[in-house]
Amino acid sequence: MNISKLLKIFFVILLVITFTIACDVNNNEKKENINKDINNWPADGLYFMKWDSYHAYFEEEEPYIQLSAIQIHSAKQKNEQSYKKYILLSDKGEITATFTNYLPGPKEEKYSLYTIGLRLPKMKPGKYIISKLKIIDSNNQQKMYDIGKWVIDIKKGFKPKDLDLGKKTFISGYFDWYRVEILNNTREKIHIENLDFQLNTPVKTIIKIGKDFNMTEYLEEEPYIDQGETKVFQFEFVSNVNDSKPKFISLRPVLYYKINNQSKFIILPTAIYSPVVNDKTILELVQSLNQ
């Protein structure tokens, strides 16, 4: 399967999870809720979800992020092709991104949902904290949007050959855990140390080990992998903060391990944590984004 096909599948699945209208709200109830709250909807315009995200990359990689947006409209939605430039604002200056994909989601009476994919250029090693997106349209009009906090962490070096990755977490409706299947390619024992990422959301990470990806049986042992062995590691996220607001998190974490008393690391694939929402949630989200 080629990369473009995989990306298309990725976008479809992401949109289904991120912007699914909850099943327990039928069409009549949705219309009633929209009409009831019609005066509470903010002005027409584009509103981006505020993500709390960490993405690590090796220096030869081109970073890639996805942004979810809500278009509030009483008129026809503006065509995305009228946008000419996407510029991300970081603590190290502007980063011009390449628009890669636009995929529309559900369209309701007051709003439309969609996701865009942005490819960043190769960057020098270091940490880039991105918080704003500047969009310039075909008429050279520009607007600035708050997109939360994206930490892009460029690491020196290349992907190690010690480990191979099998199945892994792809998408979840809750920020609950990251699960990955790991194969030891060496003739030495590999000790798994910790999962590293930096989010605004304070969490404690607990490591659990399983024989299979569904974690039907836990292994009560130290986190290690013998030569030629495959194990599944589940990094559970525990937070003491009681916050019921929807969380949009994109995570490309770093896994540290030790082999022959030498500390090394590998970057794991991206996982998306995005809640299922209904009309009421959409309205609350847009109202919070408008503040």
61-86: average pLDDT: 78
Banded model confidence at residue 1, pLDDT cuts 50, 70, 90: very low
pLDDT, tens digit, 9 for 90 and up, residues 130-149:
999 999 988 888 999 999 99
Q: Where among 131, 156, 181 does a domain terminate?
A: 156
Domain that includes residue 129, residue range: 42-156
60 plus 149 within the same structural domain: yes
Same domain, 212 and 118: no
CA distance 200 to 149: 8
How do residues 162-184 score in pLDDT, each as one tens digit? 999 999 988 888 899 999 999 99
Q: Which pLDDT score is estimated for 80?
A: 54
User: Number of structural domains, the chain?
Assistant: 2
- Residue 269 domain-assigned (yes or no): yes
Q: Do 113 and 192 fall into the same domain?
A: no
Distance CA 12, CA 104 (A): 9
Q: Both tokens of residue 232? A: 């599944």
What percent of the chain lies above the pLDDT cut of 90?
55
- Is residue 183 a contact partner of residue 164, using CB atoms and an 8 Å limit? yes
Mark whether 107 and 211 lie in a shared domain.
no
Segment 184-204 mean pLDDT: 93
Residue 70 within a domain: yes
User: Is the confidence at residue 27, as pLDDT, over 60?
Assistant: no
195 and 133 part of one domain? no
Task: Say if residue 122 is in the same domain as residue 171.
Answer: no
Query: How far is it, in rounded angstroms, from Cα 141 to Cα 135?
Result: 8
- The verdict on 183 and 256 lying in the same domain is yes
Predicted local distance difference test score (pLDDT) of residue 270: 96
Burial of 228 (0-12, 13-18, 19+ CB in 10 A): exposed
Q: Could you report the per-residue pLDDT of 87-118, keeping only the tens digit for each? A: 999 999 999 999 998 888 777 778 888 899 99
Asked whether residue 92 is assigned to any structural domain, the reply reads yes
Q: Are 136 and 184 part of one and the same domain?
A: no
Q: How far apart (Å, rounded) are the C-alpha atoms in residues 178 and 268? A: 10
The position carrying tokens 């989010």 is 199
Q: Flag whether 177 is in a domain.
A: yes
Q: What is the pLDDT of residue 291?
A: 56
pTM (two decimals) = 0.84
Residue 290 lies in a domain: no
Q: Do 180 and 144 sit in the same domain of this protein?
A: no
Domain limit, last residue, from 156, 173, 207:
156
Q: What is the CATH number of the domain that holds 73?
A: 2.60.40
pLDDT, position 4: 45
- Cβ pair 121, 43 in contact under 8 A: no
Q: Is residue 5 part of a domain?
A: no
- Identify the pLDDT of residue 139: 84
Residues 130 and 227 in one domain: no
73 closest CA partner among 104, 42, 117, 103:
42
Determine which helix (DSSP H) or strand (DSSP E) holds 15, and give its type and residue range.
helix 3-18
142 plus 233 within the same structural domain: no
Among 3-17, 186-200, 238-252, top mean pLDDT goes to 186-200
| Range from 25-39, 126-140, 233-247 that averages highest in pLDDT | 126-140
Residue at which a domain ends, from 156, 178, 193: 156
77-99 b/e with 16+ CB inside 10 Å = b? eeebeebeebbbbbeeeebebeb
224-225 sheet: strands from edge to edge: 224-225, 190-196, 254-259, 262-267
- Average pLDDT score, the chain: 83
Is 4 part of a structural domain of the chain?
no
Same domain, 148 and 199: no
Residue 187 forms part of a structural domain: yes
Contacts of 132 (CB under 8 A, 6+ apart): 88, 89, 144, 145, 146, 147
Share of the chain above pLDDT 70, in %: 82
State the pairing for strand pair 249-252/51-58.
parallel
Least confident of 37-41, 58-62, 189-193, 197-201: 37-41
